[in-house]
Structure 1
């Protein structure tokens, strides 16, 4: 039995901040309920995601941007691999990023979005979901700030116009004896600030505990699995930990069907300098680095840049 926190962020944040902080310190993960993302929006987005991935391969590949680092549009099956992994992950995905107005000072860091013409309402649905993820992420970051003894709104300017990315993911079913227990996403840590994941109720997500054991993460339907990314780990000098995690094929019948999920990778602004917080500095903190430079460094490691 684990004690990964499962909290409602509809409650006063001061009441849940330390429970969240304890869970993020020990496991790097927490379960978030009552996050405010409408259930009908989630259902619509999930259906459109399945519609897109059901398109013929040649149609999907029309939305692949060579040399784009996978930042926008479609990334085909067998492209991304975890840091230090020998083989590519068993997944395909679509990325939706921030839409910036013409002439925005951060435009050089963020590509324009592209949208599939074959699915009516796709853009409107996922722009709405992107905004809803941001609002939920703001609540989580406010709770984290309270736990760290910072002003509740400390993170607001650090993520304003941040390079956040929403990923629509499909892990295809596998065939034969290798299906059960196969690795859909190899062990890895997330690059970003925090990740908010829809779809983790489908078995397969596991985190690596400090004791070296793989622990299943099974939120109830509609809840979010939220984890700390490497950027926030660095900012807090590992007081909040970016835990290694993976996605394996489940056992039994579920191993032979596709798995879909939608993670939202919430990022700092590209020009935000990640410098260890004074309250977390033990004299051995890593040197400051801009979030953009940190992102590029990590994208190269996972074969996306």
Structure 2
């Protein structure tokens, strides 16, 4: 079993925006940093991104106002179809149930009509539900859409850095993300007043499904942890095992898989000026596991902070729904066979999102 530490540090990628607009040299430095971080861990802390701290504060405040609404108002924001990745969802455990986590999620496309207007066909538009926007707090929708747009621009910048790191044109990803299906979540982790033995993990070990996930946190201890350790092949196998568990409708393990890999879970505090970025399954498949999909989890509150809640913002970057995810030639030795067959991004996302287990 892996150990947990708050002393180890994740790699850092600096976009160089703290000293002005990123220069060509700064981009090359960031590309080297990103390549090393995603090879070694699959995740990094991002600095020098140039996003004003006030944006994070406003979006966090609007999210906290939403979660402070009464339960009836929040329940009205659930997906009409029961989609667990849309609108308001919760994780509750026990009898009587204890609220472990509540999430509000919204997509880039506000309705199926928006999907058609973006140039997709009916087969893709049928997979998209209208966003379930609350009437109050009044500023919530504007805060979320503004934050989403800023994160999308940041994600595009990171993809340019990633392309340089992979030996591609800096704009290689652009046409594959110009109709991207990214989405945004705000998350509340309420206090858990149970004993340490009875407290439940806020989210079990998993890797995200898309390309890059960008996380921001408020100042409360939240126990977001990233797995560090093992060889690239070991991490790839572990991530594959975890993703298979997520996709298995018969897997009802209450706490999720417990990875048995030499290494450690590193505690990430996070703040507006140091964002957490995790590579997801699609980016790992694109690079034929040169870059690892980061395993991460949100542990139960510690003995020091069981009564503290925490709010997080999570931006999940996805390519265009009709983009093919296939191993890049720059990531394959001559004559090598890709580890995974090609797949359309929309098909893979639908497969992965079709199941959501109690621990996830």
* Residue number among 350, 354, 360 corresponding to 1:296 in the alignment: 350
When the two chains are superposed, the root-mean-square deviation of aligned CA atoms in Å is 2.4
What is the distance in 2 between the residues matched to 1:188 and 1:200? 22
8 Å contact 2:182–2:317 — kept in the other structure? Answer: yes
Deviates more, 1:1-10 or 1:159-168: 1-10
Deviates more, 1:266-275 or 1:198-207: 198-207
Give the C-alpha shift of residue 115 in structure 1.
1.3
What is the distance in 2 between the residues matched to 1:190 and 1:5? 19
* Residue number among 291, 301, 326 corresponding to 1:275 in the alignment: 326
What is the distance in 2 between the residues matched to 1:220 and 1:117? 28
Query: Taking structure 1 as reference, are residues 214 and 71 closer, same or farther at Cα in structure 2, changes over 3 Å only?
Result: closer
Which secondary structure state, in structure 2, belongs to the residue aligned with residue 246 of structure 1? strand
Look up the match of 1:191: 209
Q: For this pair of structures, how many residues does the alignment match?
A: 296
Structure number with larger C-alpha Rg? 2
8 Å contact 2:90–2:100 — kept in the other structure? Answer: no
Give the C-alpha shift of residue 179 in structure 1.
7.1
Look up the match of 1:36: 50
Residue 141 of structure 1 pairs with residue 156 of structure 2: no
8 Å contact 1:170–1:260 — kept in the other structure? Answer: yes
8 Å contact 1:89–1:185 — kept in the other structure? Answer: no
Deviates more, 1:99-108 or 1:265-274: 99-108
Query: Taking structure 1 as reference, are residues 142 and 68 closer, same or farther at Cα in structure 2, changes over 3 Å only?
Result: farther
Look up the match of 2:88: 74
Give the C-alpha shift of residue 95 in structure 1.
0.7
Look up the match of 1:90: 100
Look up the match of 2:237: none
8 Å contact 1:180–1:252 — kept in the other structure? Answer: no
Look up the match of 2:246: none
8 Å contact 1:37–1:133 — kept in the other structure? Answer: no
Look up the match of 1:167: 185
Look up the match of 1:82: none
Unaligned runs of 5+ in 1: 80-87
What is the distance in 2 between the residues matched to 1:263 and 1:22? 23
Look up the match of 1:285: 339
Give the C-alpha shift of residue 111 in structure 1.
2.5
8 Å contact 1:138–1:156 — kept in the other structure? Answer: yes
Residue 58 of structure 1 pairs with residue 64 of structure 2: no
Unaligned runs of 5+ in 2: 1-6, 231-261
TM-score by length of 1: 0.89
Give the C-alpha shift of residue 217 in structure 1.
2.5
Which secondary structure state, in structure 2, belongs to the residue aligned with residue 301 of structure 1? coil
Look up the match of 1:8: 14
Residue 258 of structure 1 pairs with residue 312 of structure 2: no
What is the distance in 2 between the residues matched to 1:128 and 1:115? 14
Residue 120 of structure 1 pairs with residue 171 of structure 2: no
Where does structure 1 differ by over 6 angstroms across 4 or more consecutive aligned residues?
none
